Amino acid sequence: MNPSFSTTINGQNQEVQVKSNQTLLEFLRDDLKLKGAVEGCSVGVCGSCTVLIDGKPVSSCLTLASNIEGHEVTTIEGLSQNGDLDPVQQAFLKHQAFQCGYCTTGMIMAVKGLFNAHPHPTEEQARDYLSGNLCRCGTYKEVLAAVAELANE
Ligand code: FES
Ligand code: FES
């Protein structure tokens, strides 16, 4: 029988039912229709599927959906408040820290996790935190510029 339990997704407490072998990425995209986290490598290498669990970034392709019982999951869809983009999203826009955008939702969620752990991160901390997020368009310099601006606020 598929597990059902209570969890919080983007601030909404809800009862969910997941398949026992379903990844969190599959559950978010297929069942909840939250398409922001995207599949790149499927093996925990690229970071495009990054979401937050209890404020910490995880690769949702490697996380079983059944593991979110009692936890708080945040996806890119949960960042804007009352129609206003999150400051990280605004900084990405300002610094044009994306090209094709495929990695961008995962990158933004990883940056959110960075600031949750380090409110004023150094560049070294930022590089370390983002080392699991790959961008084939090579926007690393712009991403670090967005992070640096936020770190100095
Ligand atoms: S799709 Fe999850 S890390 Fe690449
Ligand atoms: S913006 Fe294209 S992969 Fe990062």
Query: What are 21-39's pLDDT values in tens digits?
Result: 999 999 999 999 999 999 9
102 lines ligand 2 (CB under 6 A): yes
10, 74: one domain? yes
128, 93: one domain? yes
73, 98: one domain? no
Whole-number pLDDT of residue 3: 84
112, 144: one domain? yes
69, 24: one domain? yes
Ligand 2 atom index nearest CA of 136: 3
30, 55: one domain? yes
57, 95: one domain? no
Is the C-alpha dihedral spanning 28, 5, 62, 107 positive or negative?
A: positive
- Which stretches in the chain have pLDDT values below 50? none
Residue 50 domain boundaries: 4-78
Q: List the CATH number of the domain containing 19.
A: 3.10.20.30
Is the C-alpha dihedral spanning 140, 87, 126, 7 positive or negative?
A: negative
Long-range pairs of 50-55 with CB within 8 A, sequence gap ≥ 24? 50/105, 50/106, 50/107, 50/109, 50/110, 50/113, 50/132, 50/133, 51/24, 51/75, 51/76, 51/109, 52/109, 52/112, 52/113, 52/116, 55/113, 55/116
43, 105: one domain? no
Span from the CA of 142 to the centroid of ligand 1 (angstroms) = 22
**Residue 93 token pair:** 């826009």
Q: List the CATH number of the domain containing 99.
A: 1.10.150.120
How many domains in the chain?
2
Span from the CA of 95 to the centroid of ligand 2 (angstroms) = 14
Report residues whose beta carbon is within 6 angstroms of any ligand 1 atom.
39-42, 44-49, 59, 61
93, 144: one domain? yes
Which of 52, 78, 104 delimits the end of a domain?
78
